[in-house]
Amino acid sequence: MNVTWVMGPPTGEEHGRYLALDLGGTNLRVCEVSFEAFSDFEVLINKNPLPEEVKHGTAEELWDYVAECLQRFLHEHHTGPSEKKVPLAIAFSYPVTQSSLRSGILQRWTKGLDVKGVEGHDIVPQLEAAIGRKVGAHLEVFCTREEPSALISLQGLPIDIVAVVNDTVGTLITAARQDPEVKIGSIFGTGCNAAYFEEASRIPKIHGRSNIPDDALVAINAEYGAFDDERKVLPCTRFDDMIDQSSARPGQQTYEKMVSGLYLGEILRMVFLDLHESGALFQGADPTLLRQQNVIDASFLSAIDLDVPGSVQEMGRLFKQKLGIEPSLPELRICRQLVEMVGIRAARLYACGIAAICKKNNWSTCRVAVDGAVFENYTNFRKRTMAALGEIFDWPPETETRITLQHCKEGSEIGSALIAALASEGPRRHLLQT
């Protein structure tokens, strides 16, 4: 449960141009968002895949890559040197300890990232140093070749880092600006997590600080992907144990490893392989591809787990293409059931996390804004989660659903830019700089 120093929902007054860098588990997105007060926004996004060597390299390599992508973005989208630095928020979807909005000490990497030299350090000075290196390098180029392209670099990257924001908090803020009934921001993608607003008086970590009124609302990043790392509550299977053991960080993110997109394909692969090795499935097939780690990803499940008649043929094509296996029709039916089991379990466990936040706050109605590719593309996931919520709260059949989930596309980036706006202006500015 991390205190984020985002103090209350936006008012709608936010306006101006802000930058956001979104460092997730799969991509690095650089965006510029322009807001008009009480109106819509415009967004420009550049998506850069996070190379494997960067995911497992050193802090310098990571931040140099980030600075490079940022510079490229500024170069493409800003024609002339600007006098004023643009406020930038880092959407950093990993657990950080924040002593202020503008700092974030990485507690531990999650979602398979394992970059040396970042854990235990504040990411803001690390990125600033990389930006400094970039400016220095381009100054040299400029002095020797007088390239016009070096102009923007000569200025220094014209940015001012003002906030470190978790993706769940960004999503919460984006959705709450459009709909005040939204109380939870959540991500269901590579990872799984949620954020909500808590009254300062109910947060022991900060309660009693003289500059924070008791009734101030503070966004809490639940970081509940790490729920039950002691393995006392969740009904883990031997496949969950195998996923954990083969992961970059065994013993961590127990709940997330049962639920989120990064792991669903691997769980399914292990079940298939186990059944094949015991002679129950894909008899006579060549399992070479099936033995490859991560050969199945979450898109494999969402492509199969559809309510469309005739999808068995489509499924056969997918097995051939991805796994080099041509299952019989009865085998395909079994596989379809296995996919459903993995998908239903994920949706039911995901519903538990949302329900826990609602129960803690005694909310009987709530809107949840969800961002993340798996939520967006796995069509059956939403309705299964809602059904599971109905079971948890024991709503009588036919009751109108009281907790609803809505997709909030690019919530993380837009919300981070909004938080950059809140940090740069507005009446709550002083609170944000605690």
Provide the annotated active-site residues. 93, 108, 167
The tokens of 321 are what? Answer: 């293409």
When asked if residue 167 is in the footprint of ligand GLC (CB under 6 A), the reply is: yes
**Closer Cβ to ligand GLC, 103 or 311, answer by number:** 103
Q: How far is the CB of 222 from ligand GLC (least distance, A)?
A: 9
The sign one gets for the Cα dihedral 120, 123, 128, 129 is positive
Beta strand spans in 285-419 (E): 366-371, 403-407
Burial track 392-406 (b if 16+ CB lie within 10 A, e otherwise): bbeeeeeeeebbebe
**Cα(311)–Cα(243) distance, rounded to whole angstroms?**
29
Q: How far is the CB of 203 from ligand GLC (least distance, A)?
A: 18
When asked if residue 256 is in the footprint of ligand GLC (CB under 6 A), the reply is: yes
Burial track 85-111 (b if 16+ CB lie within 10 A, e otherwise): ebbbbbbbbbbbebeebbbbbbebbbb
Q: Which of 10, 87, 185, 191 binds ligand GLC (CB under 6 A)?
A: 191
The tokens of 411 are what? Answer: 């919530």
**Closer Cβ to ligand GLC, 69 or 187, answer by number:** 187
When asked if residue 73 is in the footprint of ligand GLC (CB under 6 A), the reply is: no
The tokens of 378 are what? Answer: 């796995």
**Closer Cβ to ligand GLC, 294 or 365, answer by number:** 294
When asked if residue 381 is in the footprint of ligand GLC (CB under 6 A), the reply is: no
Binding mask 15-44 for ligand GLC (x = CB under 6 A): ------------------------------
Q: How far is the CB of 211 from ligand GLC (least distance, A)?
A: 27
The angle that helices 238-246 and 261-277 make with each other, rounded to 10 degrees, is: 120
Piece in contact with ligand GLC (CB under 6 A), picked from 44-52, 87-95, 391-399, 417-425: 87-95
When asked if residue 254 is in the footprint of ligand GLC (CB under 6 A), the reply is: no
222 forms beta bridges with none
**Cα(293)–Cα(277) distance, rounded to whole angstroms?**
16
Q: Which of 98, 153, 174, 193 binds ligand GLC (CB under 6 A)?
A: 193
Contacts of 261 (CB under 8 A, 6+ apart): 188, 189, 190, 191, 297, 298, 372, 373, 374
**Closer Cβ to ligand GLC, 152 or 234, answer by number:** 234
Angle, alpha carbons 158-161-164 (nearest 5°) = 150
When asked if residue 257 is in the footprint of ligand GLC (CB under 6 A), the reply is: no
When asked if residue 95 is in the footprint of ligand GLC (CB under 6 A), the reply is: yes
Q: Which of 4, 98, 110, 416 binds ligand GLC (CB under 6 A)?
A: 110
174-179 CB contacts, 8 Å cutoff, 24+ apart: 174/369, 174/408, 174/410, 174/411, 174/412, 174/414, 174/415, 174/418, 175/367, 175/369, 175/406, 175/408, 175/411, 175/415, 176/9, 176/10, 176/369, 177/9, 177/10, 177/12, 177/14, 177/418, 179/367, 179/369
**Closer Cβ to ligand GLC, 187 or 200, answer by number:** 187
**Cα(432)–Cα(55) distance, rounded to whole angstroms?**
31
Q: Which of 93, 171, 174, 424 binds ligand GLC (CB under 6 A)?
A: 93
Nearest Cα neighbor of 10 from 409, 428, 434, 410 is 428
When asked if residue 186 is in the footprint of ligand GLC (CB under 6 A), the reply is: no
Do the beta carbons of residue 395 and residue 433 sit within 8 Å? Answer: no
Q: Which of 4, 168, 174, 385 binds ligand GLC (CB under 6 A)?
A: 168
**Closer Cβ to ligand GLC, 166 or 385, answer by number:** 166
The tokens of 96 are what? Answer: 């950080």
Q: How far is the CB of 192 from ligand GLC (least distance, A)?
A: 6
Q: Which of 94, 196, 227, 375 binds ligand GLC (CB under 6 A)?
A: 94
Binding mask 210-249 for ligand GLC (x = CB under 6 A): -------------x-x------------------------
When asked if residue 350 is in the footprint of ligand GLC (CB under 6 A), the reply is: no
**Closer Cβ to ligand GLC, 93 or 247, answer by number:** 93
When asked if residue 166 is in the footprint of ligand GLC (CB under 6 A), the reply is: yes
Footprint on this chain of ligand GLC (rule: CB under 6 A):
93-95, 110-111, 166-168, 187, 189, 191, 193, 223, 225, 256
